[in-house]
Amino acid sequence: MAPIHVLVIDDSASVRRAMGEVLSAEAGFAVTTAGDPFIAARLIRERVPDVITLDVEMPRMDGITFLRKLMSQCPVPVVMCSSLVEDGSETLFQALEAGAVDVVLKPRMGVAEHLAEQHERIRDAVRAAARARLPAQRKAGVPAPKLTADAVLAAPSGRAMSRTTEVVVCIGASTGGTEALRQVLEALPANAPGIVVVQHMPQSFTRGFAQRLDSLCAVSVKEAEHGDTVMRGHVLIAPGGGAHTLLERQGARYVVAVREGPLVSRHRPSVDVLFRSAARSAGANAVGVLMTGMGDDGAQGLLEMKQAGAQTIAQDEATSVVFGMPREAIARGAADRVVPLPGIARALLTAAER
């Protein structure tokens, strides 16, 4: 197979050198570098790269502005690599909304050493981006309308209901999942079933991600904490980076447990860990949804949920940014339904009603 041609855009010579060394150390990558967007634009005119890694703070033009111009004129998969996305800042969401498919955190000090330590994360992000289907390349679909409570669920509406849910929805996603999750959660009514989400994100990003979703959605969204109760009208986002998030039953209610553990399916938190815990704790009272992402994390867990009696859903290829995780689940017979992104909110509500 031809190598993945990566254009590294960063004003720091040391970062360009470190990124080049990280990628070039493994077969399958060809690296070109540029010190600012204007140099990058000339290189892109000569040859369009397969993937771009892009800093935010650069001379003459900032990375977000360049990203927007790039996606409007010559869409290329972009992985943001910046210290400005630390702590889930607004810059992270601007980058994702502008079309970036993934984000790699660059610390403010010791950048070269950090990038060397994160070599697998960087390579995985670039590989996934190379396989990403950009919005302009996706099959057009009609956005899902806002779903009213009366249309699907009979329970009274309300943003912060206190009673325990009878059904738990578990969602897993990776590359492309941040925007896909936003579309799904924005389409849910305020009294949707309790939801637990594992989205592969670096540590410290998930709190800001949850806060952003909370400001946009009728349901309440927060970063999960150990012991949180899963309740109707509430979405819990697994904290990124350092631990796994599991579903457990305590009497008549479901709670999340956040526990340290080794990488599972190369991830922590892992979708497989969440889904397997749902199969054990909730069985037929659960709904599993596996969305866009590279690799196979969640595929086996979704199968175990199905075998335990849960309703299971996988996102379809046409609307997945990377059709890796859903493809693996479908191949294993784990999905009851294969659904395009605009229909996932309605599908999970219908499944929960059953």
Tokens 């590294």: give the residue.
Answer: 8
CA distance 169 to 11: 44
List Cβ<8 Å contacts ≥24 apart for 250-257.
252/164, 253/164, 253/229, 254/164, 254/165, 254/168, 254/194, 254/229, 254/230, 254/281, 254/282, 255/227, 255/228, 255/229, 255/230, 256/196, 256/224, 256/225, 256/226, 256/227, 256/228, 256/230, 257/226, 257/227
CA distance 51 to 125: 10
The CA distances from residue 148 to 24, 212, 235, in Å, are 52, 22, 17
| E strands present in 13-119 | 29-34, 51-54, 78-82, 102-105
Q: Which of helix, strand or coil describes residue 174?
A: coil
**The tokens of 229 are what?**
């109760």
The dihedral built from the CA positions of residue 201, 203, 206 and 211, taken in this order, carries a sign that is negative
The CA distances from residue 140 to 51, 188, 320, in Å, are 23, 21, 12
Name the residues annotated as catalytic: 174, 200, 297
Tokens 């610390």: give the residue.
Answer: 107
Taking each helix axis as running N to C, give the angle between helix 37-46 and helix 63-73, from 0 to 180 degrees, rounded to the nearest 10.
20
